[in-house]
Amino acid sequence: MSATAAIDPGITGSICISGDPIVLHDMPVIEIYGKPARKGAKAKIKREVDVPRLLSILRDANVSMVLIEKQQERPAKFSVGKGANGEDVERKQGVSSSWTTAKNYYLIIGALIGSGIAHEAIHPRTWQSHFKIAGNSKGQSCQIAERLYPGASFRGPRGRALDGRADATLLLEYGRRMGVST
């Protein structure tokens, strides 16, 4: 029987595969060593999605459909919602960070197309509004995912929210509710 997967495509993202129980994988990444910025400096280490390992995970689970969180360019400053005291909360995203996000997103899309795996990109606000998640709240995503799937792990060893896992899980659940996934 074929499965559906949902992917949070960030470097700290995750893959959630349908089933009973769901199966979670942290995003497989590789480290690429760049040239030092100047003589005597340490080489820069960049991380990107390990496409062969990602495809291996999807093939091993017999995935035929992938829901992927849509990525898009953001302004230098963008609003992420309201803070605890009702104030607007803004974040900045640098050019390099935007480029890395786009590169990894399109690496995954290209790999899915090349492998013949159907996919649908879903905007984060679409699935977040379905679960009534305000702004870009990592903690809120984890709380909802933990409530829906109490047997899955959405926290690190020190209790830190693993939002990539929660986001992929909620994206899969959204797809299931909308009839897109199995």
Count of domains forming the chain: 1
Q: Tell me how crowded residue 41 is: count the other CB atoms within 10 A of its CB.
A: 9
Q: What is the pLDDT of residue 6?
A: 98
**What's 55's domain CATH number?**
3.30.420.10
In angstroms, the CA 49 to CA 30 distance is 6
Q: What is the pLDDT of residue 102?
A: 86
The 10 Å CB-count burial string (b at 16+, else e) for 151-177 is: ebebeeeeeebbbbbbbbbbbbbbbee
Whether residue 69 contacts residue 55, with contact meaning beta carbons closer than 8 Å, is answered with no
Q: What is the pLDDT of residue 74?
A: 53
Range of the domain at 17: 3-177
Q: Is the pLDDT of residue 162 over 70?
A: yes
Domain assignment present for 34: yes
Domain assignment present for 182: no
Whether residue 83 contacts residue 89, with contact meaning beta carbons closer than 8 Å, is answered with yes
Q: Is the pLDDT of residue 93 over 90?
A: no
Residues in Cβ contact with 49 at an 8 Å cutoff, skipping those fewer than 6 apart: 9, 11, 27, 28, 29, 30, 104, 107, 108
- pTM value is 0.81
- Which residue has 């199995």 as its token pair? 182
pLDDT one-digit tens code per residue, 33-75: 877 777 777 877 888 999 999 999 999 999 999 999 998 765 5
Q: What is the pLDDT of residue 136?
A: 62
pLDDT one-digit tens code per residue, 116-160: 999 999 999 899 999 999 866 778 899 999 999 999 999 888 888
Q: What is the pLDDT of residue 19?
A: 93
Domain assignment present for 168: yes
Q: Is the pLDDT of residue 111 over 70?
A: yes
Domain assignment present for 114: yes
Domain assignment present for 38: yes
